[in-house]
Structure 1
């Protein structure tokens, strides 16, 4: 049986992972180590759920909205299109995606970077709110990108996040699409069932159809 090609589109989560200023970095400590008295190594981790590849829950941008444990899993699993909009500027606009509009699947990931940032860069590409609307009108239920947020780092109104809320879309941020050709794939990026959390880390992968 032949194995389908797999693309790992998740960055390594490490203490030096780029994060929004003020966010909780990843840290690991050992609570037990292998020894004659102890049969295992045991670690404990602390981190913001927005470190690395992650799925924002609606709770991130609205009170009384679903947490990471409460979102339906369907949007995070299934046919997906990767669209290239490399070096498109501050915002992904409709004209950057129109060339790949035909028969859009319910999930769209946009590659903005030639190479994913490994240090914090506030000048990352985000989604124009009208692009979120345009995708939703074409049946898209999940959007994603290879930068930290669908809104600019300086935004206080989070217009694209608010579009996600109103249109009931899901989102994946901080993906790594450096090696992924434009085209159609199967997406697998399930959030953890974290009670009360505003987001969840995901191990996001794409599989050849």
Structure 2
């Protein structure tokens, strides 16, 4: 029996999307009855619905695109922490849960996992939070929110601060059913050559039980 845990949002026609952006839509354009052999589906979607990763091109005109990114950032050991008692993902919040080195960090916030409802606002990642992550070796951060910045943000401090600290961004992971602790992560983006983002299928597997104290190594 597999011990991998799916932390991806289900991708369906009810999936919430960023206000004003292209929603996800799937339909069977050609049926087996029509073709005589197979069903063929078609999708239309933004690159930023569901569980997805952002490329720097999302917020920098000269930034790297999805296919330019290091694929190994999305595979390997990670740590899950819960900072739901804090209003922002800042240095104080992070220090309360983790001081030991880790390359990949998945963060559960106070926002309930509800793929069919787009939140009014989210706990943002702050500049000092991004700098602290870099100080403990983080190269990829995943959050259970649709953005690392406030929904109304135009200066995108979270995105730019993470970029400045060489930290990749994974958004909309589902962590409500996951214990804090150590896991193996696979969250590969599609090989989209010119894209600013990509949907991913994110899964984790417990390491040494997975639900140990998040501060342990």
TM-score by length of 1: 0.93
- Which of the numbers 86, 105, 108 marks the counterpart of 1:88? 86
- Helix, strand or coil for the counterpart of 2:12? coil
Distance 2:102 2:155 in 1: 29
| Equivalent runs, 1:105-116 vs 2, <5 Å | 105-113=102-110, 115-116=112-113
Indicate the residue corresponding to 1:206 in structure 2. Answer: 204
Matched, 1:104 2:104: no
Q: Unaligned regions of 5+ residues in structure 2, if any?
A: 208-217
Indicate the residue corresponding to 1:141 in structure 2. Answer: 139
TM-score by length of 2: 0.90
Count of aligned residue pairs for this structure pair? 206
Moved over 4 A (4+): none
Contact 1:55/1:200 (8 A) holds in 2: yes
Indicate the residue corresponding to 2:211 in structure 1. Answer: none
1:154 to partner: Cα distance? 1.1
Distance 2:184 2:70 in 1: 18
Moved more, 77-86 or 16-25: 16-25
Indicate the residue corresponding to 2:65 in structure 1. Answer: 67
Distance 1:71 1:197, change over 3 A: same
Distance 1:23 1:208, change over 3 A: same
Matched, 1:191 2:214: no
Indicate the residue corresponding to 2:129 in structure 1. Answer: 131
Indicate the residue corresponding to 2:51 in structure 1. Answer: 53
Moved more, 95-104 or 66-75: 95-104
1:207 to partner: Cα distance? 0.7
Indicate the residue corresponding to 2:19 in structure 1. Answer: 21
Distance 1:102 1:120 in 2: 32
Contact 1:32/1:38 (8 A) holds in 2: no
1:32 to partner: Cα distance? 1.2
Distance 2:134 2:11 in 1: 30
Q: Unaligned regions of 5+ residues in structure 1, if any?
A: none
Moved more, 170-179 or 30-39: 30-39
Q: For residues 78-101 of structure 1, what are the alpha-carbon distances to aligned partners after superposition, in whole Å with 9 as ceiling and x for unaligned?
A: 010001011422x11222221332
